Structure 1
């Protein structure tokens, strides 16, 4: 699977910019994991998503690049290079060619108009900043960064930050605010980006957002972390270990599944392996996943 994949949503071009692919123990990611349930799903999941023994799941870490009506938009920014994450080894002191992959997709950092953040966890904000002369500075100096004020307020208090995201606020969030590049989703986001709408899907994080994109009678849903793996399409009651508010996470997951099914929206996930893109359908009172 290519590190740079491209899709069409009406007149918009959407490109996946991959940072890394991870292998995660299934019972760690999903505390409610059951091997018998995995066995029922293994045929349609396939080896790109799960190992034969059901003990390991494959996840992708990536950003989505959207080009629409002359605007260049990034949804989330993965984990970033050189970030100090000793409590989270898979994101600690990375050295990936993510920026080079962005340029392969035809975009340089100074050409990005908007950076839209689903939530402020470690693997969604890292490329907000790069280290220059010993300081973390905005990677996309001409961009407007959009994220939740409620989320910012919540994670500005260190006691609300879970261990995997320790250090994120200081090196990947606050420098953007200090640079004056942020506009808040709750009060300033409406109509800024052609066709993009904002949907609060709280639960995985304090004020998580998903985004829908409408263009030329086509619709897409960028779900953020309402789901991490396609097995949650058929088992939406399962929360990941990283979902901070359990019941709200389940409610938001069901909202996203119903929205995608009801509107035939192309579903862009933040962590599914393979293409990371598919459609949600209903069959026998259950949801199904059809990869694109």
Structure 2
């Protein structure tokens, strides 16, 4: 995606800019949302393809992306992708990636020093990677991770910080990728004194509020935007594929507590349908954001987001 070509939505007084780190085939769709069933994918492949599904081999298509919010003179980043040079041996797609994410931010008009807040909706590796960068790029020692955004406060759900950090023994079992993720992308933010742990809810400004939405991880959260008559909800990993809108009981393979995640998903989608909130998941390709409506026991696609030139 090229932000210079108008990958922007204006909601009330808040400008929303999408910055894509990577987009492409992710893995088998049947493995991503195991309970969806082959028929749900097949019956909807005409509109799922090509942005969410590759029908010829049943591969799910996803994006790694950050949402930039400009609200009342404040610049907020929602999730920070995978990052460069990370040791992620358990996830080949994320392992030792190299990309031009900071360049993409710059093309969107965002310098690292301009960022006021970084929101991590949860602490999975693909949501915290650009929290930090190698110190040799910031006048530090090579191999020393330092915050990418030196003036930002990093808003981190306390429950996830406990679960994925050393107090929780890195997700309860010292899983190597979880330990590495915390040590290179979260712990340096704590050491720099830039981490803000929150519980329940946290208001950023008059337009933006974080709310707990547990299930996917213990501290998973959503960010609500309300400005004028416009509404949006940034839902992180409550949704990995649009098939979960059609069948909200279907969890992704990454959800830690499927029953709780499904209840949270249904609640968030219900409110979005009733209040006409734009739903903004972390990983949707294509338009990346969608309005939903109630349909029977589930929900349907009302319309996809339309982008225009930024202000």
Cα shift readout 1:103-155 (whole Å, capped 9, x = no counterpart): 11101000000001100000000000001122000000100110111211111
Q: For residues 162 and 208 of structure 1, do their structure 2 counterparts lie closer, same or farther at Cα, with a shift above 3 Å needed?
A: farther
Aligned equivalents of 2:298, 2:120: Cα separation in 1:
30
Once the two structures are superposed, the pairs formed by residues 177-256 of structure 1 within 5 Å of their partners are: 177-186=190-199, 190-256=202-268
Number of aligned residue pairs: give it: 291
Alpha-carbon distance, 1:218 to partner: 0.9
Aligned partner (choices 73, 78, 82) of residue 79 of structure 1: 82
Alpha-carbon distance, 1:285 to partner: 4.2
Alpha-carbon distance, 1:210 to partner: 0.4
Structure 2-normalised TM-score?
0.89
Question: What is the root-mean-square deviation of aligned Cα atoms in Å?
Answer: 1.7
Aligned equivalents of 1:54, 1:224: Cα separation in 2:
27
Helix, strand or coil for the counterpart of 2:121? coil
Ranges of 4+ aligned residues in structure 1 off by more than 6 Å:
none
Cα shift readout 1:238-284 (whole Å, capped 9, x = no counterpart): 11111011111111111111121011011111001101011011134
Structure 1-normalised TM-score?
0.94
Aligned equivalents of 1:256, 1:69: Cα separation in 2:
26
2:154 matched to which residue of 1?
A: 145
Aligned equivalents of 1:215, 1:159: Cα separation in 2:
37
1:155 matched to which residue of 2?
A: 164
Unaligned runs of 5+ in 1: none
Aligned equivalents of 1:34, 1:53: Cα separation in 2:
17
Unaligned runs of 5+ in 2: 136-140, 306-311
1:282 matched to which residue of 2?
A: 294
Cα shift readout 1:70-128 (whole Å, capped 9, x = no counterpart): 00000110010111111111011111111001011101000000001100000000000
Aligned equivalents of 1:73, 1:230: Cα separation in 2:
26
Aligned equivalents of 2:225, 2:213: Cα separation in 1:
16
Q: For residues 159 and 286 of structure 1, do their structure 2 counterparts lie closer, same or farther at Cα, with a shift above 3 Å needed?
A: closer
